[in-house]
């Protein structure tokens, strides 16, 4: 079987490695991939937004299944486009992807179906926004109503922070945002909850806790994610029942009522307040780096899981998990999420330990003359599976000591809430 994976990050490398473990795979292709995927798949230098070239390559090379990793092509309608040519695709269509593409679409859905979420307001220009800020209670959450690679969210402690956020969003820091979303600040603890759906059946696909802030102790600017651990320390049977009944099921019902059956991964970013879940936002794909902590825990063949979704037979598939603790640390370029050096060689990369308990997933890398170079902000994801989170983190830190890369940075406290509790 031939499978194509769309994307170039750590998430896509993790998907490639999990698929490569299947005895059903003859060949993997990655569009465009990275230095890590190149070792196990054929990297195809086609932009993820060049739908026609992707389609032509898939047809010319008889690819049996396409898995779409990142949000941009999903929101742009790649699944719909490929399905017109009878290509089998794993991922939600354009209508369903509005859950991530428009935060306001999701908020309106929440309001209609009584899905617990923060109180909110929507504004279309600076003047309206700043008028609201003058009377708003702080802290205040401000979001750009478009894709922002996980970085278009501001937690504003006071008025001047809110004014800065409004200026940056409307001046195009995160692309063209026509609307801005103001939200009530909820006091609780965040959790990532994942399900997989074939349009009829949904199944749990793990929990995690991401670490969005660049600095230790969850300080500093928002990033695409500095690390994660799985499973979340917050999950319990009662909470999971509430998440499904109050959030996931009403969401899928709402989509069905506008003619959209959700197929693919669905990632609910939640705030847990006294064991009650509130929806912060949806992502229509696996989180990154949460995916890197979750996929190594799956015992079931990932090919079977994907095919059961595209064929609408998920109810027949039993997803089995390892009983272990998984932790991921993201190694970044110094300066991220702002400016940083590119094309910097990472010395001693070949000394990193890789086995069934320790994984290296590439993100912003390229390989030249058998050496690994950093070309992005988030560069490598180091994952360890252990019987507890503390030893998993120690394994990663021991591995990182082998590298010689002065321009690298990582948070040393990933998992601190579960390790110190």
Q: What is the pLDDT of residue 128?
A: 86
CATH 3.30.470.20, the chain: domain bounds:
189-316
Q: What is the pLDDT of residue 121?
A: 85
Please enumerate, as own/partner, the contacts of 303-307 that have beta carbons within 8 Å and a separation of 24 or more: 303/1, 303/3, 303/19, 303/22, 303/24, 303/25, 303/65, 304/22, 305/196, 306/65, 306/67, 306/90, 307/65
DSSP symbol at 104: H
Q: What is the pLDDT of residue 178?
A: 74
Q: pLDDT, tens digit, for every residue of 258-286? A: 999 999 999 999 999 999 999 999 999 99
Q: pLDDT, tens digit, for every residue of 372-386? A: 999 999 999 999 999
- In CATH, the number for domain 2-91 is 3.40.50.20
Helix (H, G, I), strand (E, B) or coil at 272: strand
Q: pLDDT, tens digit, for every residue of 102-124? A: 888 999 999 999 999 988 888 88
CATH 3.40.50.20, the chain: domain bounds:
2-91
Round to whole Å and give the CA distance between 386 and 29: 31
CATH 3.90.600.10, the chain: domain bounds:
325-419
Round to whole Å and give the CA distance between 371 and 337: 24
Q: pLDDT, tens digit, for every residue of 71-114? A: 999 999 999 999 999 999 999 999 999 999 888 899 999 999 99
150 has pLDDT over 60: no
**Structure tokens that stand for 406 in this block:** 């002065």
- In CATH, the number for domain 125-178 is 3.30.1490.20
19 has pLDDT over 90: yes
Round to whole Å and give the CA distance between 16 and 24: 13
DSSP string, 117-140: B--EEEESSHHHHHHHHHH--SSE
Kindly state which CATH superfamily the domain 189-316 is placed in. Answer: ATP-grasp fold, B domain (3.30.470.20)
Number of Cβ atoms within 10 Å of the Cβ of 193:
27
- In CATH, the number for domain 325-419 is 3.90.600.10
Q: What is the 3-state secondary structure (H, E, C) of 17-58?
A: HHHHCCCCCCEEEEEECCCCHHHCCEECCCCCCCHHHHHHHH
Q: Which residue has the tokens 């941009």?
A: 72
Q: Answer yes or no: are the C-beta atoms of 312 and 198 closer than 8 Å.
A: yes
Round to whole Å and give the CA distance between 390 and 399: 14
Instruction: Please state, rounded to an integer, the average pLDDT across all residues of the chain.
Output: 94
Q: What angle do CA 397, 357, 4 make, to 5 degrees?
A: 105
Q: Return phi, psi of residue 246, to 5°.
A: -95, -25
pLDDT confidence of 367, banded at 50, 70, 90?
Answer: very high
CATH 3.30.1490.20, the chain: domain bounds:
125-178
**Structure tokens that stand for 277 in this block:** 């879940």
Residues 6+ apart with CB under 8 A from 172: none
């Amino acid at each position: 079987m031939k499978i194509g994976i769309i994307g170039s990050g750590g998430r896509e490398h993790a998907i490639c490695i999990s698929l490569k473990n299947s005895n059903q795979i003859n060949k993997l292709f990655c569009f465009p991939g990275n230095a890590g995927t190149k070792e196990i798949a054929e990297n195809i230098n086609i932009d993820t937004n060049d739908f026609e070239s992707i389609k032509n390559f898939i047809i010319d090379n008889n690819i049996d299944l396409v898995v779409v990793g990142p949000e941009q092509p999903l929101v742009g309608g790649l699944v719909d486009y490929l399905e017109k040519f009878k290509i089998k695709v794993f991922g939600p269509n354009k209508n369903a992807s509005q859950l991530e593409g428009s935060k306001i679409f999701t908020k309106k859905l929440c309001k209609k179906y009584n899905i617990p979420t923060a109180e909110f307001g929507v504004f279309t220009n600076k003047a309206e926004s700043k008028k609201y800020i003058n009377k708003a209670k702080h802290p205040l959450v401000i979001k750009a109503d478009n894709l922002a690679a996980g970085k278009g969210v501001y937690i504003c402690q006071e008025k001047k922070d809110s004014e800065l956020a409004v200026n940056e969003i409307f001046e195009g820091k995160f692309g063209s945002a026509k609307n801005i979303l103001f939200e009530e600040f909820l006091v609780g603890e965040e959790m990532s909850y994942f399900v997989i759906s074939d349009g009829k059946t949904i199944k749990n696909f793990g929990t995690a806790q991401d670490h969005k802030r660049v600095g230790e102790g969850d300080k500093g600017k928002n990033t695409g994610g500095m690390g994660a651990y799985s499973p979340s320390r917050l999950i319990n049977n009662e909470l999971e029942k509430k998440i499904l009944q109050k959030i996931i099921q009403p969401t899928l019902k709402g989509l069905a009522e506008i003619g959209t059956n959700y197929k693919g991964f669905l990632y609910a970013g939640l705030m847990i307040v006294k064991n009650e879940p509130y929806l912060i936002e949806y992502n229509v794909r696996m989180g990154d780096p949460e995916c890197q902590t979750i996929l190594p825990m799956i015992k079931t063949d990932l090919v079977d899981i994907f095919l059961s979704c595209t064929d609408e037979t998920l109810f027949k598939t039993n997803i089995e998990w390892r009983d272990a603790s998984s932790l991921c640390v993201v190694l970044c370029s110094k300066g991220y999420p702002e400016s940083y050096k590119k094309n910097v060689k990472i010395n001693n990369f070949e000394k990193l330990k890789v086995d069934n308990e320790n994984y290296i997933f590439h993100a912003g890398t390229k390989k030249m003359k058998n050496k690994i170079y950093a070309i992005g902000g988030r560069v490598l994801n180091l994952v360890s599976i252990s019987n507890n989170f503390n030893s998993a983190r120690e394994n990663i830190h021991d591995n990182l000591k082998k590298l010689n890369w002065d321009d690298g940075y990582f948070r040393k406290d990933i998992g601190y809430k579960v390790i110190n509790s």
